[in-house]
Amino acid sequence: MSNKESLRARIYSTIDVAGSQTRLGRAYDYLMIVAIIVSLLPLCFKQDFTIFFITDTIVTVLFIADYLVRWCTADLALRKGWKSFLLYPFTPMAIIDLLSILPFFLPMNQGFKALRLLRMVRALRAIRFIRESRSWRVVTSVLRREKSLLLSVGAMAVAYILICALIIFNVEPDSFDTFFDAIYWACVSLTTVGYGDIYPITTIGRVVTMLSSLVGVALIALPAGIITGGYIEEMRRETQAE
């Protein structure tokens, strides 16, 4: 292996998942996490300050460098030879990386400013070392094992929301202008949040609301119970295996 190829391999091992096992790889991960957090700070303010332009310039340069380095080592990641360099810009994470860079070069209106939120997706890759931890493995294992049950509960919740929305929309025509308002009310009732911006005023509408809230408490509690039970079972299995 030539010195050039050896250097590329070392760079790739630093920015790749395997790099999370090395001190340099972890330092790179922490650097990217800090950069992402700093880049999102302007979204917490309505005013534009000079310091934000300076930090955003630095962060954007870092993101561009990261994008180019990943592109230069695409063959090591995709393992498709020279075709990897052509395919990499069209991979999902590469597109997200590019979209997270573009806001710096676009006008700072609300539409383009919202593109900065895509930088949070970059954090999923930046914190890759968490995926190597035992806790992460246990949680993902539980979600995979209980996937069908959780999907069934989710389908029940969606069906319940639509049914309740349909009922309340017809018994309370004066309180709900559109069916979407009824769906919004059903979601709020299901989670027992109760914002109070939309509410029934008739007796039958209030009865529907009470029943919806009671059933909603039980339905919302199901996923938590399933995940908790699966987590305990997974920990018990790991303990027995050890």
**CATH class of the domain defined by 138-241:** mainly alpha
The full DSSP string for 112-177 is: HHGGGGGHHHHHHHHTGGGGGSHHHHHHHHHHHHTHHHHHHHHHHHHHHHHHHHHHHHHH-TTT-S
Instruction: Give the containing element (helix H, strand E) for 202.
Output: none
Query: CA nearest 59: which of 110, 126, 7?
Result: 126
Mean pLDDT lowest among 26-35, 66-75, 99-108, 173-182:
99-108
Tell me the two tokens of residue 143.
């979600």
Q: Check if CATH label 1.20.120 holds for domain 3-132.
A: yes
Confidence tier at 225 by pLDDT (50, 70, 90): confident
Mean pLDDT lowest among 17-21, 56-60, 171-175:
17-21
User: What local confidence, expressed as pLDDT, does residue 143 receive?
Assistant: 81
**More confidently predicted of 58 and 22:** 58
The ranges assigned to domains in the chain are 3-132, 138-241
- What tens digit of pLDDT does each residue of 135-192 get? 667 777 888 888 888 888 889 888 988 998 999 899 888 888 889 989 998 888 877 7
User: What local confidence, expressed as pLDDT, does residue 166 receive?
Assistant: 92
- What tens digit of pLDDT does each residue of 114-138 get? 666 767 766 666 555 555 566 667 7
Single-letter code of the amino acid located at 204: I
Quick one: CA dihedral 35, 37, 40, 45, positive or negative?
negative
